[in-house]
Amino acid sequence: MIRKATGQMTGKVRDAYLALVRAFPLTSIRSERQLKDAQRVMDRLLAQGKLGSGAAAYLDALSDLVAAYEDVHYPLQPASDADMLRHLLESKGVSQAELCRATNLAPSVVSEVLAGKRSFSKGMVGKMVGYFNVDKSVLTANF
Protein backbone atom coordinates (compact mmCIF):
# COMPACT_ATOMS: atom_id res chain seq x y z
CA MET A 1 0.00 0.00 0.00
CA ILE A 2 1.40 3.39 -1.00
CA ARG A 3 0.77 6.21 1.42
CA LYS A 4 0.92 9.89 0.72
CA ALA A 5 4.08 11.53 2.00
CA THR A 6 3.70 14.09 4.71
CA GLY A 7 5.19 17.52 4.17
CA GLN A 8 4.55 17.36 0.45
CA MET A 9 6.11 19.87 -1.89
CA THR A 10 3.82 22.36 -3.52
CA GLY A 11 3.97 25.02 -6.17
CA LYS A 12 7.34 26.07 -7.57
CA VAL A 13 9.25 23.77 -5.23
CA ARG A 14 7.34 20.74 -6.53
CA ASP A 15 7.66 21.93 -10.14
CA ALA A 16 11.44 22.30 -9.85
CA TYR A 17 11.76 18.88 -8.22
CA LEU A 18 9.57 17.14 -10.80
CA ALA A 19 11.41 18.81 -13.69
CA LEU A 20 14.63 17.28 -12.42
CA VAL A 21 12.97 13.88 -11.91
CA ARG A 22 11.70 13.97 -15.49
CA ALA A 23 15.18 14.85 -16.79
CA PHE A 24 16.93 12.18 -14.71
CA PRO A 25 14.56 9.82 -12.83
CA LEU A 26 15.39 8.83 -9.27
CA THR A 27 15.86 5.06 -9.50
CA SER A 28 18.38 2.63 -8.07
CA ILE A 29 21.75 2.87 -9.77
CA ARG A 30 22.73 -0.49 -11.22
CA SER A 31 25.72 0.16 -13.48
CA GLU A 32 28.86 2.24 -13.85
CA ARG A 33 27.23 4.13 -16.71
CA GLN A 34 24.27 5.10 -14.53
CA LEU A 35 26.69 6.10 -11.77
CA LYS A 36 28.62 8.40 -14.10
CA ASP A 37 25.38 9.92 -15.41
CA ALA A 38 24.17 10.55 -11.86
CA GLN A 39 27.50 12.13 -10.91
CA ARG A 40 27.26 14.49 -13.90
CA VAL A 41 23.76 15.56 -12.83
CA MET A 42 24.99 16.13 -9.27
CA ASP A 43 28.00 18.13 -10.52
CA ARG A 44 25.73 20.36 -12.62
CA LEU A 45 23.47 21.03 -9.65
CA LEU A 46 26.37 21.70 -7.29
CA ALA A 47 27.92 24.12 -9.80
CA GLN A 48 24.78 26.25 -9.57
CA GLY A 49 25.62 27.27 -6.02
CA LYS A 50 22.61 27.91 -3.81
CA LEU A 51 19.76 25.63 -4.83
CA GLY A 52 16.06 26.10 -4.37
CA SER A 53 14.21 23.72 -2.06
CA GLY A 54 13.03 21.45 -4.89
CA ALA A 55 16.48 21.12 -6.44
CA ALA A 56 18.06 20.60 -3.01
CA ALA A 57 15.58 17.79 -2.22
CA TYR A 58 16.31 16.18 -5.58
CA LEU A 59 20.09 16.44 -5.06
CA ASP A 60 19.72 14.90 -1.60
CA ALA A 61 17.77 11.93 -2.96
CA LEU A 62 20.16 11.42 -5.90
CA SER A 63 23.14 11.59 -3.52
CA ASP A 64 21.56 8.84 -1.43
CA LEU A 65 21.19 6.64 -4.52
CA VAL A 66 24.83 7.23 -5.51
CA ALA A 67 26.01 6.49 -1.96
CA ALA A 68 24.02 3.23 -1.87
CA TYR A 69 25.67 2.08 -5.12
CA GLU A 70 29.15 3.12 -3.99
CA ASP A 71 28.76 1.43 -0.60
CA VAL A 72 28.27 -1.90 -2.39
CA HIS A 73 30.73 -1.49 -5.27
CA TYR A 74 33.44 0.66 -3.65
CA PRO A 75 33.51 -0.20 0.06
CA LEU A 76 36.00 1.77 2.11
CA GLN A 77 38.34 -0.09 4.40
CA PRO A 78 38.91 1.40 7.83
CA ALA A 79 42.06 3.49 8.11
CA SER A 80 45.01 1.78 9.74
CA ASP A 81 45.85 2.82 13.27
CA ALA A 82 49.01 4.49 11.95
CA ASP A 83 47.06 6.49 9.36
CA MET A 84 44.43 7.46 11.92
CA LEU A 85 47.03 8.65 14.42
CA ARG A 86 48.90 10.62 11.74
CA HIS A 87 45.63 12.27 10.72
CA LEU A 88 44.70 13.15 14.29
CA LEU A 89 48.14 14.61 15.02
CA GLU A 90 48.02 16.68 11.84
CA SER A 91 44.45 17.85 12.43
CA LYS A 92 45.25 19.00 15.94
CA GLY A 93 48.59 20.44 14.82
CA VAL A 94 50.62 18.65 17.47
CA SER A 95 53.78 16.57 17.47
CA GLN A 96 54.34 13.07 18.78
CA ALA A 97 56.18 14.56 21.73
CA GLU A 98 53.24 16.82 22.61
CA LEU A 99 50.85 13.86 22.43
CA CYS A 100 53.10 11.81 24.70
CA ARG A 101 53.45 14.62 27.26
CA ALA A 102 49.70 15.30 27.35
CA THR A 103 48.59 11.65 27.56
CA ASN A 104 51.53 9.99 29.36
CA LEU A 105 51.91 7.56 26.45
CA ALA A 106 55.43 6.23 26.00
CA PRO A 107 57.16 7.78 22.99
CA SER A 108 58.29 4.33 21.84
CA VAL A 109 54.67 3.10 21.79
CA VAL A 110 53.51 6.08 19.71
CA SER A 111 56.46 5.60 17.33
CA GLU A 112 55.63 1.92 16.90
CA VAL A 113 51.99 2.74 16.08
CA LEU A 114 53.09 5.34 13.52
CA ALA A 115 55.51 2.82 11.97
CA GLY A 116 52.70 0.26 11.65
CA LYS A 117 54.42 -2.14 14.05
CA ARG A 118 51.80 -1.86 16.76
CA SER A 119 48.04 -1.37 16.97
CA PHE A 120 46.11 0.78 19.41
CA SER A 121 45.51 -0.85 22.76
CA LYS A 122 42.44 -0.19 24.86
CA GLY A 123 44.59 1.84 27.24
CA MET A 124 45.91 4.02 24.42
CA VAL A 125 42.42 4.57 23.08
CA GLY A 126 41.24 5.61 26.53
CA LYS A 127 43.98 8.24 26.76
CA MET A 128 43.58 9.55 23.22
CA VAL A 129 39.79 9.99 22.97
CA GLY A 130 39.83 12.88 25.42
CA TYR A 131 42.99 14.43 24.01
CA PHE A 132 41.75 14.40 20.42
CA ASN A 133 38.10 14.92 21.40
CA VAL A 134 36.85 12.04 19.25
CA ASP A 135 34.40 9.23 19.87
CA LYS A 136 35.98 5.95 20.94
CA SER A 137 34.58 4.25 17.82
CA VAL A 138 36.91 6.37 15.66
CA LEU A 139 39.91 4.70 17.27
CA THR A 140 38.50 1.20 17.66
CA ALA A 141 37.45 0.51 14.05
CA ASN A 142 40.23 -2.07 13.76
CA PHE A 143 39.53 -3.93 17.03
Mean pLDDT split into 10-residue runs, the chain, 143 residues: 61 94 97 98 96 95 97 91 96 96 96 96 94 92 77
The number of C-alpha atoms within 13 Å of 93 and in the hemisphere containing its C-beta is 0
Residue 44 makes CB contacts below 8 A (sequence gap 6+) with none
CATH 3.90.1150.10 for domain 81-139, yes or no, is: no
| Per-residue pLDDT, 7 | 61
| Per-residue pLDDT, 77 | 85
Q: H or E element: which one contains 78?
A: none
Distance, in Å, from the CA atom of 98 to the CA atom of 107, rounded to the nearest integer, reads: 10
| Per-residue pLDDT, 90 | 97
Distance, in Å, from the CA atom of 92 to the CA atom of 128, rounded to the nearest integer, reads: 12
Query: In the chain, where are the structural domains located?
Result: 11-73, 81-139
